[in-house]
Structure 1
Amino acid sequence: MSDAQRKIGGAGARITAGGALECAWQCVAFYFALLVLALVCLTWCPLAWLLRRVLSAADGRRVGRAAVQRVWHLYFVLLRSLGACRFDLSALDALAGQPAMILAPNHPCLLDALLIASRVPDTCCVMKGDVAGNVFLGPGALLAGYIVNDSPVGLIRAAVGELQRGSPLLLFPEGTRTGLGSGSVNPLKGGIALIAARAQAPVQTLIIETDSGFLGKGWQIFRKPALPITYRVTLGRRFAPPGRDHAALQGFIAELQRFYAGELDPHRPRS
């Protein structure tokens, strides 16, 4: 074997060994991050359960939402430090301290609400009933005064109340995560138009982009994705609240649907 062939073979062996080490590190980083998440939830949830019973509703909201923001901010710092994720969430900082509005993102994965709540203070999230009943997430979410969407009438009343109180309301217009093969966005639900009209609150669209299907619809939490995962959130168009008549509400939803379809078109040039 010539010297050149030996050098090529040695380089190939080093590349293979480097790839194996990188794969092993990704596994360690991913499952370590899950372990930390479980420990944080197991520590916080009993405390949140207790605080909900001793604090007033207003104090519970303040403490609960501050804890959500701080804990998830630190957790995302950990993910970044481990090399598991890359985050570009700086656009959300412009929303702090602004008048109450509806924050309306697209919904590619389960982390979407946490990405936003980690950067926008006092965010009130609209959540599904199964989140409220989850032993890991429920106590903290209920302490924070998040709204359960199990009753349309109750949801609208509570959402309007939060906006009138001055809190930003995080509401996913699709109502569920965008499924694979569903296109860029699911058909939007009409509730967001009703809430915006009754509260006379603007709707700030948010565009969430990721290069992974991790925690998308059908993805099990223990299934390791390719790392690192990139998440980017940018501010979209801000819509003025619609009128209360049926035509205005329907037109608002149609315009919102067109906006998301255009922004999330995979063929659209990206900056």
Structure 2
Amino acid sequence: MTDSRAGKRLWVAYEHLAMALGLGALALLCLAWLPFALLLHPLLPRRLGQPLGRLVARTGFRAYLGILTLLCACRFDLDELDQLHHAGPLVLAANHPSLLDAVLVLSRVPNTVCVMKAELMDNVLFGAAARLAGFIRNDAPLAMILDAGEELNRGARLLIFPEGTRTSVFPVNPCLPTAGLIARRSKVAVQTLLIEFSTPYLGKHWPLFRPPALPLRCRIRLGRRFDPPADVAAFAAELERYFRIELGQSSVTVARSDHHIRQAQ
């Protein structure tokens, strides 16, 4: 019994250490690139700066996930994303269970631009790198749609979370019409991404400094690819139904974990 309690305490201590290592590693990687991003963004033309910014983001995020795998008992199954390397322009519509979602996708899919919250674009740590990579702010809807269309016309993939925020009620929140509107205007398909976590780490109800429940497992599956919709509102409802069906079974464990987190707060 004593050995069991000691082992449990050691494991809890390791979970706290893993949290510190994970958050610290991401901050250090961002800080290392920050002065270069600040300098290069006003100096480089877009045709040079954006590819460089996206390459560095993908490389840095892959390194970060490697650190989480090696030191923090995290396991990522992202191989299906490699099928998108030569797929051409797509709207990548993903569910949004965690703050790590964009990191996971951007680490594996080249030439991907992300629609980001304005406060993250203005953040001291992330903003300069996001601007260099040509990521898109979400606080001006018309400008967002126009910028997204320009990126798709240039052959990029656009990562967007149709829920508009992290999932608060699993398996998925109501979906907004933005993804369908961009796809219709740009005449590109919508490729769904199904993101599944073993626990809702860094989800809507998971405080930033709450340690993860290890081992943490994450998988991203390629879902259905939808043609550009004619009816944007109907498409948003169809997309939500699709996510609910595909994520319904895997969300049971996550929902239970989410319930326990709320009770503990």
TM over 0.5: yes
Following TM superposition, by how much is the alpha carbon of 1:160 offset from its aligned partner in structure 2, in angstroms?
A: 0.7
Alignment-derived partner of residue 72 in structure 1: 61
Q: Which runs of 5+ in 2 are unaligned?
A: 254-265
Find 1:239's aligned residue among 213, 216, 226: 226
* AA aligned opposite 1:46: P
Give the 5 Å matches for 1:44-123.
44-123=33-112
Following TM superposition, by how much is the alpha carbon of 1:149 offset from its aligned partner in structure 2, in angstroms?
A: 1.0
What are the superposed Cα offsets for residues 68-97 of structure 1, whole Å, 9 maximum, x if unpaired? Answer: 100010110110101431111111010001
Alignment-derived partner of residue 196 in structure 2: 209
Q: Is the 8 A contact 2:18 2:211 kept in 1?
A: no
Give the % identical residues.
45
- Distance in 1 (alpha carbons) for counterparts of 2:251 and 2:49: 43
**SS in structure 2 at match of 1:72:** helix
Report the RMSD for the aligned CA atoms in angstroms.
1.8
Alignment-derived partner of residue 263 in structure 1: 246
Following TM superposition, by how much is the alpha carbon of 1:268 offset from its aligned partner in structure 2, in angstroms?
A: 8.5
* AA aligned opposite 1:38: A
Alignment-derived partner of residue 208 in structure 2: 221
Please state if 1:198 is matched with 2:181. Answer: no
- Distance in 1 (alpha carbons) for counterparts of 2:210 and 2:115: 27
- Distance in 2 (alpha carbons) for counterparts of 1:44 and 1:153: 30
Q: Is the 8 A contact 2:91 2:189 kept in 1?
A: yes
Following TM superposition, by how much is the alpha carbon of 1:63 offset from its aligned partner in structure 2, in angstroms?
A: 0.7
- Distance in 2 (alpha carbons) for counterparts of 1:262 and 1:124: 27
Following TM superposition, by how much is the alpha carbon of 1:257 offset from its aligned partner in structure 2, in angstroms?
A: 1.7
Q: Is the 8 A contact 2:170 2:251 kept in 1?
A: no
* AA aligned opposite 1:174: E
Following TM superposition, the consecutive aligned residue runs of length 4 or more in structure 1 with deviations greater than 4 angstroms are: 267-270
- Distance in 2 (alpha carbons) for counterparts of 1:268 and 1:148: 29
Following TM superposition, by how much is the alpha carbon of 1:192 offset from its aligned partner in structure 2, in angstroms?
A: 1.2
Q: Is the 8 A contact 1:30 1:224 kept in 2?
A: yes
Following TM superposition, by how much is the alpha carbon of 1:267 offset from its aligned partner in structure 2, in angstroms?
A: 7.3
Alignment-derived partner of residue 165 in structure 1: 154
**SS in structure 2 at match of 1:205:** strand
**SS in structure 2 at match of 1:224:** coil
Following TM superposition, by how much is the alpha carbon of 1:269 offset from its aligned partner in structure 2, in angstroms?
A: 10
- Distance in 1 (alpha carbons) for counterparts of 2:53 and 2:206: 28
Distance 1:256 1:41, change over 3 A: same
Alignment-derived partner of residue 8 in structure 1: none
Q: Is the 8 A contact 1:209 1:232 kept in 2?
A: yes
Per mean C-alpha deviation after superposition, the further-off stretch among 201-210 and 219-228 is 219-228
The structure that has the greater radius of gyration is: 1
Q: Is the 8 A contact 1:30 1:84 kept in 2?
A: no
Distance 1:157 1:88, change over 3 A: same
What are the superposed Cα offsets for residues 178-200 of structure 1, whole Å, 9 maximum, x if unpaired? Answer: 11xx2421111111111111111
Equivalenced residues, count:
253
TM-score (norm 1): 0.88
TM-score (norm 2): 0.90
- Distance in 2 (alpha carbons) for counterparts of 1:219 and 1:120: 27
- Distance in 2 (alpha carbons) for counterparts of 1:56 and 1:106: 33
